[in-house]
Structure 1
Amino acid sequence: MEFKPFIYNAKQEQIPVSIAPMTDADAQKTISAWQTAWTSDYLSDLRLEKYAAKLDEELIALGAYEILENALVIHIAYMEAQPESNPTLDGGIPKYTGIGRLMIALGIKLSIDNGFAGDVILEAKTTALAKHYEKDFGAILLPTFQASAPRYLIADDAAKQIFLTYLSE
């Protein structure tokens, strides 16, 4: 079985995408049009592994992942879809869908590749995202001990179901 990443176009057809480490050129593309400049100090943190999802040369999404060896989990520090597919920016008519699920699946893959159980944690930056993570990804709210965004765990059967979506022979 092989990890075969994909997203959906406006007709809800599966479109294969490639995933590779983010390049400086990828980060530069985010400076003016994206919600977040991926050249920021926070996203330049060397502890973060950054990946780009692309359709040919079109940059679809970026994700920043932190390997937390002591916790045996991958922390999805940040992920973002291109402006044309970002619910905050696309005016309700996304060019592509399924991007968030794909970037979570990549975190699950990194967890497995690092010898963990496929568990990932991530923060919900908005109430809408929190509901989305719970409803669509089976995320479980974790206790927080400080004033921060709600933190969620995607593990066990929920992680398995997401990951299996992208496996094929």
Structure 2
Amino acid sequence: MYFYEYKEDESGISIYIVDIEAHPESNPTISRPKKYLGIGRMMIAFGIHLSIDASLGGIVTFAAKTDELLEHYIKDFGAIPIAQPMSGGPKLLMIADESAQEIFSTYLS
């Protein structure tokens, strides 16, 4: 079973998605073809929904665990790199504005 955690970030300006993890059957490094599609995008859409409900404007933040994921989130989700808290560690990303609206409206409008 998989659990996901969403929380207001320390600065109070976004919802932070603690882990974005693919189910093993949707992870292309484990299972081909992928059994499930769009899980990460749906998790982000739900975070955007929580952000809107918390009056945070639909802004979500999360960490990319690999450079490949970083590029995927930027290219496919419109994410913007915002910080790297530790040298060599995960890179933080933000989704806001038009990108957040597009993802939100795909699933939750």
TM normalised by structure 1 equals 0.59
Equivalence for 2:53: 113
Distance in structure 2 (CA, Å) of the matches to 1:131 and 1:145: 18
Number of aligned residue pairs: 108
AA at the equivalent of 2:99 = A
Aligned to 1:64: 5
Opposite residue 135 of structure 1, the aligned amino acid is K
2:24 paired residue number: 83
Flag structure 2 segments of 5+ consecutive residues without an equivalent: none
Distance 1:164 1:120, change over 3 A: same
2:107 matches 1:166: yes
Contact 1:64 1:79 in 2 (8 A): no
- Residue ranges of structure 1 left out of the alignment (5+ in a row): 1-25, 28-61
State whether residues 85 and 91 of structure 2, in contact with CA within 8 Å, keep that contact through their aligned partners in structure 1. Answer: no
State, as a whole percentage, how many aligned pairs show the same letter: 47
1:151 and 1:70 map into 2 onto residues whose CA distance is 14
**Cα pair 2:78 2:95 within 8 Å, conserved:** yes
SS of alignment partner, residue 63 of structure 1? coil
Identify if the C-alpha distance between structure 1 residues 86 and 121 changes in structure 2 by more than 3 Å, giving closer, same or farther: same
Q: Which runs of 4+ in 1 moved over 3 A?
A: none
Counterpart residue number, 2:38: 98
Task: Report if aligned partners of 2:6, 2:16 keep a CA contact under 8 Å in 1.
Answer: yes
* CA pair 64-145 structure 1, distance change in 2 beyond 3 A: closer
Q: Which residue of 2 aligns with 1:142?
A: 82
Deviations 1:75-123 (Å, cap 9, x if unpaired)?
Answer: 1110223211123321x31111011100110111111111110001111
**Aligned-pair distance for 1:69?**
6.2
CA–CA distance in structure 1, aligned partners of residues 46 and 29 of structure 2: 22
Return the structure number with greater strand share: 1
Which of 1 and 2 has higher RCO (CA within 8 Å, sep 6+)? Answer: 2
Supply the RMSD in Å over aligned alpha carbons. Answer: 1.7
TM-score (structure 2 length as normaliser): 0.88
Query: Is the CA contact (8 Å cut-off) linking 1:108 and 1:120 kept in structure 2?
Result: yes
Judging by fraction of residues, say which structure has more helix: 2
Post-superposition shift, 1:145?
A: 4.6
